[in-house]
Amino acid sequence: MADPMRIRAQAAGSKINVRVLMSHEMESGQRKDVNGAPIPAWHIQEVSATHNGVEVLNAEWGPGVSKNPYLQFTVKNGKAGDKINVTWKDNKGESRTDEATVS
C-alpha cells in the first residue's frame, strides 16, 4: 500500500486552489544500478482529480516527472466544504486515491 498523498485544497473566491504532493519513486527506467543493470521503470502513468465526484483533471505522465511529484491546479466554481479526490495509477498497476475537503 503506497504512502498517502498530501492534498491541500483552499477556496479563494469562487475558485479552489489544489496542491498535491504524491509519494512515488518515479523511476524513469533510464537509470542503472551499481552493477550496470537497468533499474526498471516504475512511475505514475495517469492522474485524475474529481470535484464533488465530477472529473476535473486527467493527465498522462511519462518518465520525465520527478520523484515525489508536486501537482498544482485550480478548479473553477467551488467553495469550502467541497470534496476533492485525486487518484494516481502507475505502470505496475498500483493505484492510490486520497480525498481532501476544501477549506
Exposed (0-12), middle (13-18) or buried (19+): which is 85, by Cβ within 10 Å? middle
Q: What mask of x and - would describe binding to another protein in positions 77 to 96, judged by CB under 8 A?
A: --------------------
Write the CB contacts of 41 (distance below 8 Å, at least 6 apart in sequence): 27, 28, 29, 63, 91
**Count of residues in contact with another protein, rule CB under 8 A:** 11
Please identify, using beta-carbon distances, which residue of 11 and 52 lies nearer to another protein: 11
Q: Is 4 in the site for another protein (CB under 8 A)?
A: yes
Residue from 68, 74, 95, 103 in contact with another protein (CB under 8 A) = 68
Cβ atoms of 100 and 80 closer than 8 Å: no
Footprint of another protein (CB under 8 A)? 3-4, 6, 19, 21, 23, 66-68, 70, 72
